[in-house]
């Protein structure tokens, strides 16, 4: 029998104090609601998402998720939300129902509740350290919302997780008959969980953390991050700290990769190499045997085996650091290839360029790639020596084996094996330093 799951995601999320829909806040590269959809789909469920507030954005964010949508005309409570999904539900069989703001729900728990389901309604319950705000599980009664609890019932710590399995035929019969609760006239889904419902306790509180504000969002991020890091560590990835590393869900790591303390890996990155402390790697490839040292930022870059980047280097989109090439501290590389063994070790900018194999680029050398209107390319051949503080004014080419002297402004092509030096004349006035100082002191008074 096909399994249907409903995610209630029509609420506003006022406490987030955010212009973004609550369920769309990103958690490690995936919107919050997508985590729940994925957990449900992992158990083979056909997912229906109930929307109202920020409807277009929620539909957009789930456009490729293979879900159906139901529209609540006004958010009149969780019972009304599920009623809105009724036309999308089968006539019989189990229907999973969960909130859109509990992203820590795991696929295993979905399977567990389903396996225990029996009768008209089954609810996942847990012991809350602080039950405030939750519906209480009252024996012989069902779920009693906090607003309706007697002082005695308020003491109960076994609470409703908001995650249920219902029999579809039961929903068809009961949902349209729900009565509104004063003073707000809300329809409570929990009214369907009465004394006959099966309560499955023993779920972990952490899994049902409701993300209602940004503090809870950060808490959820920490928990998910630890889960992801643990799973990679089990696959043979070395972490300096499971706590202080952030690996987004779209990232792929290889056994033997290392993730340094404080490092974040985002987007579609693939890492098999060694990342030092406090690096940021976005949509980049770091091959096995490559090293990215502390404090470096790689975005849309490729770092091949044997290459060394950093510390404190910045690779921007289109940077390719080939085998054995080096990019050192305070260097920026953009849309440029450093061929095997090329070295750019100190304080350089290399943009829109190709640096040939084995070429050495001296400290402070810069490609002047932008003329104020357009970008131009710099082509430097193999085995070239570029001296300190050279300006390569693009478009320009330096042939294989050439030597460019320190401080030279290269405004025209340099042929292979040539020496190019251009320096302003240096004037030396022996013994004049003290005279100059005396004059300046006198002027100062
Ligand atoms: C609900 C339960 C409570 C349970 C708690 C668990 C009810 C009446 N109470 O309370 O027993 O302990 O969850 O976290 O169900 N939503 C809609 N449309 C609406 C109202 C809500 O789609 O009209 C969605 C929200 O976006 C949210 C979910 O339903 O994702 C739960 O709503 P919320 O208002 O957060 O319910 P709680 O007060 O937390
Ligand atoms: Ca809630």
| Residue-range domain boundaries for the chain | 4-214, 238-420
**Which ligand is nearest the CA of 81, by number?**
1
Counting ligand 1 atoms within 8 A of each CB, the residue from 15, 99, 125 with the most, and so the one to mutate, is 99
Is the overall model pTM greater than 0.75, yes or no?
A: yes
Q: Is 346 a catalytic residue?
A: yes
What tokens were used for 353? 């360029």
Q: What is the mean pLDDT of residues 263-269?
A: 98
- Atom index in ligand 1 nearest the CA of residue 72 equals 18
**Catalytic residue (one of 118, 346, 376, 429):** 346
Per-residue pLDDT tens for 204-253?
999 999 899 999 999 999 999 999 999 999 999 999 999 999 999 999 99
Tell the residue nearest (CA) to atom 16 of ligand 1: 11
Given a cut of 90, is residue 297 above it in pLDDT?
yes
Provide the sign of the torsion angle of the four alpha carbons 285, 290, 296, 301, taken in this order.
Answer: negative
Given a cut of 70, is residue 392 above it in pLDDT?
yes
Q: Who lines ligand 1 at CB under 6 A?
A: 8-11, 50, 72, 75-78, 80-81, 99-101, 134-135, 143, 145, 159-162, 188-190, 210
Q: What CA–CA distance (Å, rounded) separates 99 from 347? A: 52
pLDDT of 56: 96
Tell the residue nearest (CA) to atom 3 of ligand 1: 135
Q: What is the mean pLDDT of residues 261-285?
A: 98
Give residue 213 CA to ligand 1 midpoint distance, Å.
Answer: 14
Mean confidence (pLDDT) of the chain: 97
CB 392 within 8 A of CB 365: yes
Closest CA to 237 of 282, 279, 288: 288
Burial of 346 (0-12, 13-18, 19+ CB in 10 A): middle
CB 245 within 8 A of CB 221: no
Given a cut of 80, is residue 31 above it in pLDDT?
yes
- Three-state SS string over 109-124 comes to HHHHHHHHCCCCEEEE
Given a cut of 70, is residue 189 above it in pLDDT?
yes
Given a cut of 90, is residue 12 above it in pLDDT?
no
Counting ligand 1 atoms within 8 A of each CB, the residue from 81, 83, 162 with the most, and so the one to mutate, is 162
Percent of the chain topping pLDDT 90? 98
pLDDT of 445: 87
pLDDT class for 86, splitting at 50, 70, 90? very high
Q: What CA–CA distance (Å, rounded) separates 354 from 275? A: 25
Give residue 210 CA to ligand 1 midpoint distance, Å.
Answer: 9
Tell the residue nearest (CA) to atom 27 of ligand 1: 99
- Atom index in ligand 1 nearest the CA of residue 186 equals 23
Give residue 10 CA to ligand 1 midpoint distance, Å.
Answer: 10
pLDDT of 11: 86
Provide the sign of the torsion angle of the four alpha carbons 327, 332, 338, 343, taken in this order.
Answer: negative
Given a cut of 80, is residue 1 above it in pLDDT?
no
Distance of CA 125 to the CA centre of its chain: 30
> What's the topology of domain 238-420?
UDP N-Acetylglucosamine Acyltransferase; domain 1 (2.160.10)
- Atom index in ligand 1 nearest the CA of residue 146 equals 11
Under DSSP, the state recorded for 323 is T
CA angle 19, 23, 29 (to 5 degrees): 95
Are 4-214 and 238-420 equal in CATH topology?
no
Closest CA to 208 of 126, 137, 146, 131: 126
pLDDT of 199: 98
Closest CA to 281 of 266, 291, 294: 266
Q: What is the mean pLDDT of residues 316-331?
A: 98
Counting ligand 1 atoms within 8 A of each CB, the residue from 71, 78, 96, 192 with the most, and so the one to mutate, is 78
pLDDT of 2: 80
Q: What is the mean pLDDT of residues 116-134?
A: 96
The 3-state DSSP class for residue 233 equals helix
Given a cut of 80, is residue 279 above it in pLDDT?
yes
What tokens were used for 41? 């789909």
**Which ligand is nearest the CA of 189, by number?**
1
Closest CA to 42 of 130, 131, 106: 106
Q: What CA–CA distance (Å, rounded) separates 279 from 393? A: 31
pLDDT of 74: 94
Q: What CA–CA distance (Å, rounded) separates 324 from 11? A: 54
pLDDT class for 337, splitting at 50, 70, 90? very high
Tell the residue nearest (CA) to atom 12 of ligand 1: 134
Whether CATH 3.90.550.10 fits 4-214: yes
């Amino acid at each position: 029998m096909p399994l249907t799951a409903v995610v209630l995601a029509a609420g506003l999320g006022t406490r987030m104090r955010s212009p973004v829909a609550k369920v769309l806040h990103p958690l490690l590269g995936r919107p919050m609601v997508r985590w729940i959809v994925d957990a449900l789909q992992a158990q083979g469920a056909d997912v229906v998402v109930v929307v109202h507030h920020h409807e277009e954005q929620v539909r957009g964010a789930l456009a490729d998720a293979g879900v159906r949508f139901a529209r609540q005309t006004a958010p009149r409570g969780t019972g009304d939300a599920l009623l809105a999904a009724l036309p999308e539900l089968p006539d019989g069989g189990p229907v999973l129902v969960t909130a859109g703001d509990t992203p820590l729900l795991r696929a295993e728990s979905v399977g567990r509740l389903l396996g225990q389901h029996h009768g008209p309604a089954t609810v996942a319950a847990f012991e809350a350290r602080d039950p405030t705000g939750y519906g209480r599980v009252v024996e012989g009664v069902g779920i009693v919302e906090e607003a309706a609890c007697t002082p005695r019932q308020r003491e109960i710590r076994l609470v409703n997780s908001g995650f249920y399995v219902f029999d579809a035929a039961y929903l068809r019969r009961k949902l349209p008959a729900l009565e509104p609760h004063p003073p707000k006239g809300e329809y409570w889904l929990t009214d369907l969980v009465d004394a006959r419902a099966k309560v499955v306790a023993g779920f972990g509180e952490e899994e049902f953390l409701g993300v209602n504000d940004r503090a809870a969002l950060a808490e959820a991020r920490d928990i998910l991050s630890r889960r992801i890091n643990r799973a990679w560590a089990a696959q043979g990835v070395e972490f300096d700290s499971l706590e202080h590393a952030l690996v987004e869900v779209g990232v792929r790591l290889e056994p033997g990769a290392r993730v340094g303390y404080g490092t974040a890996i985002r987007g579609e990155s693939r890492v098999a190499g060694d990342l030092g402390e406090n690096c940021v790697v976005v949509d980049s490839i770091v091959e096995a045997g490559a090293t990215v040292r502390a404090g470096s930022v790689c975005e849309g870059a490729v770092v091949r085996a044997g290459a060394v980047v950093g510390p404190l280097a910045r690779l921007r989109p289109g940077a390719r650091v080939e085998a054995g090439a080096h990019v050192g501290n305070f260097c920026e590389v953009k849309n440029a290839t450093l061929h095997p063994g090329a070295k750019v070790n100190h304080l350089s900018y290399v943009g829109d360029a190709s640096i040939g194999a084995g070429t050495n680029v001296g400290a402070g050398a810069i490609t002047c790639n932008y003329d104020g209107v357009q970008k131009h390319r710099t082509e430097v051949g193999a085995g070239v020596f570029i001296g300190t503080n050279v300006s390569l004014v693009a478009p320009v080419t330096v042939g294989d084996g050439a030597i460019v002297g320190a401080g030279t402004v290269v405004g025209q092509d340099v042929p292979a094996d040539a020496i190019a030096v251009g320096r302003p004349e240096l004037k030396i006035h022996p013994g004049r330093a003290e005279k100059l100082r005396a004059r300046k002191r006198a002027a100062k008074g």
